[in-house]
Amino acid sequence: MLPEGEHRDLWVVDGVIRTEPVPGAESVDGGWILPGLVDAHCHVGLESSGAVPDDVAEQHALADRAAGALLLRDAGSPADTRWMDERDDLPHLIRAGRHIARPRRYLRNYADEVEPDALVAAVERQAARSDGWVKLVGDWIDRDVGDLAPLWPQEVAAAAITRAHELGARVTAHVFGEQAVAELVEAGIDGIEHGTGLTDAVIEQMAARQVALVPTLVQLENFESYAAAGEAKFPVYARHMRALYAGRLEVFGRAHDAGVPIYAGTDAGGYLPHGLVGAEIEALGRLTSAEHALGAGCWAARAWLGRPSRIEEGAPADLVVLDADPRTDLSTLRRPRHVVLRGRLVD
């Protein structure tokens, strides 16, 4: 049983873990048991053209469930997925509302699009629609500049973040480049998604304030295609994206060494399929260590999101059972033997 590494028997009654024997319990053969995995950055109900019908969103959630991801932080979606809360066979969702971006500065049909003078009002809207998170688009290509550029003046972003905090919400942001991430961290943001443009000074600030980083390593493999798509019209942007990709592992390694909290998120939805959490944790393991990567995609991520993070008496029975010790072979995460959600075997 992880993370403690103990050998013990467990029982499940009415969706809750018990540590004392239960007469007549149905038995499941042993294995390596850990709390349900976490995809800390995905998009349920979102594909390349925008929101999708409920039956497609359901398949997104089921793919994540099959991979053992039983807690999902939806980092922005135009789809209304509240109906999923009534389904006890689907993963737990923590929503960030809809992305907030400027007109013509993000993907079409994804975001609540506003000009800077309306950002605070948009944050209020999305905080009301969310489960305690708000998602900003921090930078994107500026066609007038020909490169990545921030979407929001720093003072406007700071006011929006302050307002979110007043409403009890945390704020995270999509950021690729150097300028926007520095300004947003200075403005008091709580999390950074992707974060390829982190500098030493920003890393130091993030570590001091424990600003979270979700690097979405599997998604960053698309940087070359982004660069190639823009190269003819925006060569500076293309060079910048390639440079960010080339330096990503060194940047994230420095962030890890400095004590920045790092969590596993795939960026599934939009252009990536769901069910990739095992691959993301493997990628993090190559960057840090297997033990750290497991925490980043399981117990540490659960604690960060305010959910039960240990297998103990009275905890919700959201569990993944593996054939081998993932601390010595992270690839075993790709093939869960059993998935238990709300106390029920669902595999």
Pick from 213, 241, 225: which is nearest to 139 by CA?
241
Instruction: Note whether residue 332 is domain-resident.
Output: no
Which residues are 338's β-sheet partners? 321
Q: What is the pLDDT of residue 2?
A: 78
Pick from 167, 185, 91: which is nearest to 123 by CA?
167
Q: What is the pLDDT of residue 137?
A: 99
What is the number of structural domains in the chain? Answer: 1
Instruction: Note whether residue 331 is domain-resident.
Output: no
Tell me the HSE value of 97 on the side-chain side, using a 13 A CA sphere: 27
Burial of 61 from C-beta contacts in 10 A (0-12 / 13-18 / 19+): buried
Q: What is the pLDDT of residue 78?
A: 98
Q: pLDDT tens per residue, the chain (347 residues)? A: 778 888 888 999 999 999 989 888 888 877 999 999 999 999 999 999 999 999 999 999 999 999 999 999 999 999 999 999 999 999 999 999 999 999 999 999 999 999 999 999 999 999 999 999 999 999 999 999 999 999 999 999 999 999 999 999 999 999 999 999 999 999 999 999 999 999 999 999 999 999 999 999 999 999 999 999 999 999 999 999 999 999 999 999 999 999 999 999 999 999 999 999 999 999 999 999 999 999 999 999 999 999 999 999 999 999 999 999 999 999 999 999 999 999 999 97
Q: What is the pLDDT of residue 100?
A: 99
Q: What is the pLDDT of residue 311?
A: 94
Instruction: Note whether residue 26 is domain-resident.
Output: no
User: What is the rounded distance in angstroms from the CA atom of residue 173 to the CA atom of residue 31?
Assistant: 38
**CATH code of the domain covering residue 224:** 3.20.20.140
Instruction: Note whether residue 23 is domain-resident.
Output: no
Instruction: Note whether residue 151 is domain-resident.
Output: yes
User: What is the rounded distance in angstroms from the CA atom of residue 42 to the CA atom of residue 74?
Assistant: 5
DSSP string for residues in 161-194: HHHHHHTT-EEEEEE-SHHHHHHHHHTT-SEEEE
Q: Which domain holds residue 96?
A: 37-307
Instruction: Note whether residue 325 is domain-resident.
Output: no
Instruction: Note whether residue 323 is domain-resident.
Output: no
Instruction: Note whether residue 173 is domain-resident.
Output: yes
